[in-house]
Structure 1
Amino acid sequence: MKTWKTLGYMGLIPFVLCLYLSGHEMFWGIDPKQAFIAYSAVILSFIAGTIWQVNGSRQNDKLKSKQQIISNLFSLIAFVSLLINPYVALAILTTSYLLHFLYEVRFVLQDELNPEYITMRFRLTLTVVLLHITAFIVWSN
């Protein structure tokens, strides 16, 4: 398996682990719910960088500037999710993952569609969204 695929799928492990451990109040002094949200915020901010195209592309400067601003907006949303109610954070992060995927496929990768990469991103996004929905349900009970 290609390194980027392996790393992509391995990135799901902290989500699953934190969700599993969220049945406990604390684990080694760490709140698993807060860890889940924090990891999610870090990953959202990380993938926001995929739309930050600064050099070598066929885009005009205006489009590049727009993508850089949108990239920063996703990172700021991720940061804000660390500061708010966990249930609201889950909803915002879930929505952000979906919007990021749609934006990336529609505007960023339109000229460079690698079916293997798009399939992986779809699977990862779907899994992350389902894990966030599961967290919301489990944490509400």
Structure 2
Amino acid sequence: MLSYTILKHLHVTAAVISLVFFIVRAYWSVMRSPRLQGRFVRIAPHVVDTILLLCGLALAFMIGFHQTWILAKIIGVIFYIAVGMVAIKKGKTATTRALAAVVAVLIFFYIVGVALTHNPLSWWS
């Protein structure tokens, strides 16, 4: 079984890569770039996000789901995914997609704050 430290580092690395992929894809979506349709661009983020999710779940099982900050991260991830879908695929206009991308990145940083502070108030604790 992987140690907590290895899982945590893999989780953080996947989170950084996921954010970079998201920002690039959101920019391409706003700009209507054909690069967004490339095979690698359509597959790689899902692989990274799967690793991110699996590591996060494994860490949550190690720590215990009963902690409120873990629930806050899960709820944050659900909102991040929903808003991210608007930014990449569902937004009808470039302005809508750009605004959704900014909101998604803010949600991402809220989640990071929760992870670092172990507090649902994130950076405001």
Which has the higher Rg, Structure 1 or Structure 2? Answer: 1
Q: Scaled by the length of structure 2, what TM-score is found? A: 0.45
Q: Scaled by the length of structure 1, what TM-score is found? A: 0.41
